Structure 1
Amino acid sequence: MRNTAAGRPGAAEDSGRLMSIGAVLAELREEFPEVTISKIRFLEAEGLVEPQRTPSGYRKFTRADVDRLAQVLRMQRDQYLPLKVIREQLDAQDRGEAPRLPGPSGPHADELSAGLAADADLDGPVTLDRAGLLAASDVSPGELADWESYGLIAPDAGGRYAPEAATVARLLSDLGRFGFEPRHLRGVKAAADREAGLIEAVVAPLKVHRNPRTRARAENTAHELVSLASRLHEALVRAALGAGGGQQGNRPGYRPDYPNRPGTA
């Protein structure tokens, strides 16, 4: 799955040596002075590198791991590619295929492509029309209208939706099968809006920087912060539930009717 260290001076001598995350950081900083340990951990969490673990849990990186990290960082710095595209290109490379950008696929590919094509020639991010969103998320118009009435999904001023709206719709539909209604999830949306505001405050100075590479890093920084915030949210929820998952009734503010679990009255 990983690339080799061919062509690197001295690679033959140390290709089998395992490195700590601190040693990896020191080497990468020769070319990428702004890289941090948090960035390396983030790229690992995104599945772009898979270091070994010692029995005590410490990360150990091979030469191929370090070269792969450097490749990812170069693609971000030099080509301004988002992590999703980088991952797809690396996966294709690992399979021995020529990297290519994916297009829409699946049972609603034509309908989704039509929803995207309407503004494909415009500057800015590609968005979905209502039909494209329904096709991409495989939900009913009634469900979408219900979520919109609670502010969980909202179009822009032109009546179009961000591509992420399809993911939101699918997750809302999945949660609905467990009894979660739109009114139950308004607090989740409010918390997400607050987190987005915090992230925007961090990346806003990067977006207006005079250096175009610094401006391009704003998107990658935002992705990293979103991942960290998501992991924090999951950890907090798990901690609140407790190791056994049976202590909810003892927590302040717990509402036993919010919502019913499958199979309960």
Structure 2
Amino acid sequence: MLHTPSGGARGGTATGQESEPMSIGAVLQALRAEFPEVTVSKIRFLEAEGLIEPARSPSGYRKFRSEDVERLSCVLRMQRDHYLPLKVIKEHLEAGGEAADRPAVPVVPPRDPKEPEAIPPAPAVRIGRRELLRLVGAREAELAEWEKYGLLAAAEDGTYRPADVTVARLVAQLGRYGVEARHLRAVKAAADRQLDLVEQLVAPLRRHPDQRTRTRAESTAEELTDLSVRLYGAFVESAAGAARTRGD
């Protein structure tokens, strides 16, 4: 059983008899069994928020210890099971001593009515159509339209992945601003093309005779995917900034 590490995020210098440091790709694979939706971006975000602080190699690569992985698991579990905001989780972890070792969940302070309501995380298992509609707060006609335009699709058994729930929530939110499913076809097509490019780039690694190189293919694909997502966001922000400048 994993215990909540006491104290704040630590520097992550591996010494003594500690296990070999892990790359961010290896950490991702270690967490995926319990948290299938976790991504490189999520791990980096938690680092930026001060929840973890892995060591760095001279070239700048992250080097995670087993304690960092345990801490990540604790944070993700508290988010998933109790819908706690990161601020509360961080305060709980930094409490130290008995407070950090107890399985009790800290009390969530009242939500500021001016702040948007937090969206519960997507389930960690496949779900049916009715459950998807309930989680997203959408109507059957809306889901049918999203599927018509290829924004998401059920598996052969009629179930949906956790990632489909995330997609459906975002599409539903955009819909409240008048963005229709047909408007998002180009976004989905661009994402598919970028994924094809990532697969082309890592294909030689997957076929490499060296086992370590083949193992690195998955973390490389995750890293490329994460960079693609960040680049898309940067493009949107840059274009929005340019539009505001022209408006001025």
Using the size of structure 1 for normalisation, the TM-score is: 0.52
Against the structure 1 CA distance between its residues 247 and 203, is the aligned structure 2 distance closer, same or farther, given a 3 Å change threshold?
A: same
Residue in 2 aligned with 1:171? 170
* Higher alpha-carbon deviation: 147-156 or 197-206: 197-206
**Superposed CA offset, 1:112-147 (max 9, x none):** 68xx4xxxxxxxxxx332233223333222211111
Higher relative contact order (CA 8 A, sep 6+): 2
**Superposed CA offset, 1:227-250 (max 9, x none):** 2111111111222233452648xx
Against the structure 1 CA distance between its residues 50 and 152, is the aligned structure 2 distance closer, same or farther, given a 3 Å change threshold?
A: closer
**Superposed CA offset, 1:2-49 (max 9, x none):** 12568837xxxxxxxxxxxxxxxxxxxx967999xxxxxx77982343
Q: Check conservation: 1:50, 1:65, Cα contact below 8 A.
A: no
Against the structure 1 CA distance between its residues 162 and 218, is the aligned structure 2 distance closer, same or farther, given a 3 Å change threshold?
A: farther
Residue in 2 aligned with 1:88? 76
Equivalent position SS for 2:159: coil
Against the structure 1 CA distance between its residues 138 and 235, is the aligned structure 2 distance closer, same or farther, given a 3 Å change threshold?
A: same
Against the structure 1 CA distance between its residues 215 and 128, is the aligned structure 2 distance closer, same or farther, given a 3 Å change threshold?
A: farther
The aligned runs of 1:41-60 (5 Å cut-off) are 46-50=44-48
Amino acid at match of 2:55: V
Offset at residue 85 of structure 1 (A)? 4.8
Amino acid at match of 2:173: D
Residue in 2 aligned with 1:2? 9
Residue in 1 aligned with 2:153? 154
Offset at residue 224 of structure 1 (A)? 1.9
Using the size of structure 2 for normalisation, the TM-score is: 0.55
Residue in 2 aligned with 1:237? 236
Question: What is the distance in 2 between the residues matched to 1:85 and 1:215?
Answer: 26
Question: What is the distance in 1 between the residues matched to 2:24 and 2:14?
Answer: 25
Question: What is the distance in 2 between the residues matched to 1:180 and 1:225?
Answer: 28
**Superposed CA offset, 1:174-225 (max 9, x none):** 1111110111111111101101111222334444556665555444333322
Amino acid at match of 2:9: R
Q: Check conservation: 1:134, 1:141, Cα contact below 8 A.
A: yes
Q: Check conservation: 1:3, 1:94, Cα contact below 8 A.
A: no
Residue in 1 aligned with 2:194? 195
Question: What is the distance in 2 between the residues matched to 1:223 and 1:98?
Answer: 34
Question: What is the distance in 2 between the residues matched to 1:218 and 1:8?
Answer: 28
Question: What is the distance in 2 between the residues matched to 1:178 and 1:148?
Answer: 19
Equivalent position SS for 1:242: helix
Question: What is the distance in 2 between the residues matched to 1:227 and 1:134?
Answer: 28
Question: What is the distance in 2 between the residues matched to 1:151 and 1:34?
Answer: 32
In structure 1, runs of 5+ residues without a counterpart are 10-29, 36-41, 53-63, 100-105, 117-126, 249-265
Question: What is the distance in 2 between the residues matched to 1:152 and 1:49?
Answer: 31
Q: Check conservation: 1:3, 1:67, Cα contact below 8 A.
A: no
- Number of equivalent positions: 185
Q: Check conservation: 1:150, 1:182, Cα contact below 8 A.
A: yes
1:70 is aligned, of 51, 63, 68, to 63
Residue 120 of structure 2 corresponds to residue 132 of structure 1: no
**Superposed CA offset, 1:40-88 (max 9, x none):** xx77982343499xxxxxxxxxxx652794225x699xx9x9xx75863
Residue in 2 aligned with 1:102? none
Residue in 1 aligned with 2:107? none
Q: How well do the aligned residues superpose, as a CA RMSD in angstroms?
A: 4.7
Amino acid at match of 2:10: N
Equivalent position SS for 2:244: coil
